[in-house]
A = this chain, B = another copy of it.
């Protein structure tokens, strides 16, 4: 025997047929106890490991999941991936990570490549082009969307309650007595961005105020966009700002710091998403945190049950956010 031992080697060693070895190793019922023991022992002494390539070819599937996220630089997504990975490993799956960089074309390329790889399940934070996701679904693959709701496609989806989170953050600012509260949200094509904006407006209305367009901005969910939006907003003289994701919050803070605008004395800030080391930024940053790791685990669970029961109607799981009030939004 030259390479890794095969099921034939084990069979010979145990004095049984390959079929029996296969049955034992796959836990099929109704194999004689004595044979089972012998097979187990032979497998152990030979150091047999099933060749997953052959198994997968035979079963025409793999134990691989692919996670296609839209920004690896965003700690939000990497935390989610960790949740997926841990849960996936428990269920016997390995996870391949792909970064679409929020570009539909890059996403499309991944989809095409991965389709050929018999990947058994996909977890995707969809870019705006739903066609990519549809291709996966049409090819009969199990797919779970995270973070965003894919437009016009019924899918297992894990979201957080963006509207609630934004509303709570804004209500807190109102509560602290801020008068001119601004909002920097993401691209309007992304459901997260519009939901967070909606929550912002809802809180204002609930307090008897009217949302003012001059205090609202759309940017790109990245640091630079947050910086520019904040610069642009400055003319409107807000005394507080709710920023709809972590990277843009960092950008907005950067602008304020560059201009020597004090937080929270001149402008209070609350950010959506956790910012790593939020407590280190001076002043410590108030945030609406999302249960990122949980989100990943939930997506993994949904994916597994979709694989086991492809006909099941789609589920949408919505997780709660949590407001953490810190110094950046507290009146002295």
A54 an interface residue at 8 Å Cβ cutoff?
Answer: yes
B276 touches A276 (CB 8 A): yes
Identical chains in the assembly: 2
Interface centre among A73, A117, A275 (most CB of B within 10 A): A117
A176 an interface residue at 8 Å Cβ cutoff?
Answer: no
B281 touches A254 (CB 8 A): no
Residues of A204-259 at the interface with B, using a CB-CB cut-off of 8 Å, are 250, 253-254, 257
Choose from B95, B115, B253 the contact partner of A97 (Cβ within 8 Å).
B95
Interface size, A (range): 35 or more
Residues of A61-100 at the interface with B, using a CB-CB cut-off of 8 Å, are 62-64, 72-73, 75, 78, 81-82, 85, 94-99
A72 touches B62 (CB 8 A): no
Instruction: Tell me the interface secondary structure of chain A in the complex.
Output: mixed
Note all chain B residues with C-beta closer than 8 A to A98: 85, 94
Nearest CB of chain B from residue A217's CB, rounded to whole Å: 21
Query: Which among A11-19, A45-53, A156-164, A303-311 touches the partner chain?
Result: A45-53
Selected A-B contacts with CB under 8 Å, 30 pairs:
A3-B60, A50-B116, A51-B57, A51-B116, A52-B117, A52-B118, A53-B57, A53-B60, A53-B118, A57-B57, A72-B82, A73-B82, A82-B99, A85-B97, A94-B114, A95-B96, A96-B96, A96-B97, A97-B97, A250-B277, A250-B280, A253-B280, A254-B279, A257-B280, A275-B277, A277-B277, A277-B281, A280-B281, A281-B281, A282-B282
In the complex, besides A52-B118, A81-B97, A85-B98, 17 extra interface pairs with C-beta distance below 8 angstroms are A49-B112, A49-B115, A52-B117, A53-B62, A53-B118, A63-B117, A64-B96, A72-B82, A73-B82, A75-B276, A94-B98, A95-B96, A250-B277, A257-B280, A275-B277, A280-B280, A280-B281
